[in-house]
């Protein structure tokens, strides 16, 4: 029995990737990334993300099921897709855990934990780290390193998008010699924001 358990453990892949987000606090990043149904807004290779099923679970509630679809590859290939269920949403620890239920990428069993972490040496300071941990069965014809590299590239893209979405503490209006903002002159038009 012990040898069977050891053989099963050897067949499983696990790992983690991380990406720094300078100038953005962990709370700011978590506020953007904690919505399980907004994955497409932050991951550069995800084109669609929407709720599926009738569970009624909200985007931060365990049981919420999402359908994610990637950008179509060049050529005639189909886009990657997956159905994923939110298993845990821990706002205090800034992390969520989910399971991939079905997909067209060759995964049979896939669990992931996504989190936002404060700098250990300066809690509350600007700057945080995004972490993505995974455990899954091996995917036929793919190396574990290729999966880790793909997750790393996606996480790096998410870090860039989060950094771009959070305004810098020093804005142009704070700079020496700055010109008064347009709203002071009454030229600001409401309803033209592209923010979602």
Residue range 133-153, pLDDT digits in tens: 999 999 988 999 999 999 999
CB atoms within 10 A of CB 145: 10
Residue 185 neighbours by CB under 8 Å, 6+ apart: none
> Does some domain include residue 34?
yes
Q: Which 3 state secondary structure label does DSSP give 99?
A: strand
> Does some domain include residue 151?
yes
> Does some domain include residue 189?
no
Say if CB 47 and CB 39 are below 8 A apart: no
Strand positions, DSSP E, 71-191: 81-90, 95-103, 110-117, 128-136
Say if CB 139 and CB 110 are below 8 A apart: no
> Does some domain include residue 31?
yes
d(C-alpha 94, C-alpha 34), whole Å: 8
> Does some domain include residue 4?
no
Tokens of 158: 């998410």
- The CATH number that applies at residue 93 is 3.30.530.20
pLDDT at 122: 66
> Does some domain include residue 85?
yes
d(C-alpha 70, C-alpha 47), whole Å: 5
Check the CA dihedral 20-41-161-25 and report its sign: negative
* Runs of H (alpha helix) within 95-143: none
Closest CA to 78 of 110, 112, 103, 109: 103
pLDDT at 62 over 60: yes
Q: Residue 154 is part of which domain span?
A: 12-168
pLDDT at 33: 97
pLDDT tier at 169 (50, 70, 90 boundaries)? low
Entry pTM: 0.77
pLDDT digits (tens, 9 = 90+) for 72-127: 876 767 899 999 999 999 999 999 999 999 999 999 999 999 999 998 776 666 79
Tokens of 103: 């997909």
> Does some domain include residue 131?
yes
> Does some domain include residue 164?
yes
Say if CB 71 and CB 45 are below 8 A apart: yes
pLDDT digits (tens, 9 = 90+) for 153-166: 999 999 999 999 99
Total domains present in the chain: 1
């Amino acid at each position: 029995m012990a040898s069977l358990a050891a053989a099963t453990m050897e067949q499983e892949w696990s790992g983690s990737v991380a990406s720094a987000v300078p100038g953005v606090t962990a709370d700011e990043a978590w506020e953007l990334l904690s919505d399980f149904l907004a994955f497409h807004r932050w991951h550069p290779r995800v084109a669609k993300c929407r709720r599926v099923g009738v569970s009624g679970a909200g985007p931060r509630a365990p049981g919420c099921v999402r359908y994610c679809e990637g950008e179509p590859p060049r050529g005639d290939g189909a886009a990657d897709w997956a159905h994923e269920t939110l298993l845990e949403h821990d706002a205090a620890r800034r992390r969520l855990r989910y399971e991939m239920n079905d997909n067209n990428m060759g995964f049979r069993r896939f669990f992931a934990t996504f989190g936002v972490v404060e700098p250990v040496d300066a809690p509350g300071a600007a700057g945080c780290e995004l972490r993505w941990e995974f455990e899954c069965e091996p995917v036929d014809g793919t190396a574990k390193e290729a999966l880790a590299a793909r997750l790393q590239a996606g996480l790096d893209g998410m870090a860039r998008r989060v950094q771009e979405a959070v305004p810098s503490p020093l804005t142009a209006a704070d700079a020496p010699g700055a010109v008064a903002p347009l709203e002071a002159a009454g030229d600001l038009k409401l309803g033209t924001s592209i923010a979602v």
